[in-house]
Amino acid sequence: MNNHEALQLRDPEVTPTSEVLEQTLGDSYAAYESLQEALPAFDIEQEWQWYTPHKAWFAKGKHFWTTPRGTRKEKNLYWLHVYEGCFSVAVWFLEKNRAEILRSDVSEKTKQLIRNAETMGKMATFPVVFDITATASLADIYTLIECKKKLER
Where is pLDDT greater, at 66 or 78? Answer: 78
Report the mean per-residue pLDDT for the chain: 93
Count of other CB atoms within 10 angstroms of residue 101: 22
Count of domains forming the chain: 1
Which pLDDT belongs to residue 57? 97
The pLDDT tens digits of the residues spanning 10-30 come to: 999 999 999 999 999 999 999
Whether the pLDDT of residue 92 is over 80: the answer is: yes
Which band of pLDDT confidence, cut at 50, 70 and 90, is reported for residue 136? Answer: confident
DSSP assignment string, 20-68: HHHHHHGGGHHHHHHHHHHGGGGTEEEEEEEETTTTEEEEEEEEEEE-T
Task: Say if CB 32 and CB 59 are below 8 A apart.
Answer: no
Which pLDDT belongs to residue 65? 86
Which pLDDT belongs to residue 54? 87
Q: Show the domain range for 106.
A: 4-151
Whether the pLDDT of residue 4 is over 60: the answer is: no
Q: What predicted TM-score, i.e. pTM, was given to this entire model?
A: 0.90
* Mean pLDDT in residue range 53-80: 93
Which band of pLDDT confidence, cut at 50, 70 and 90, is reported for residue 2? Answer: low
Which band of pLDDT confidence, cut at 50, 70 and 90, is reported for residue 123? Answer: confident
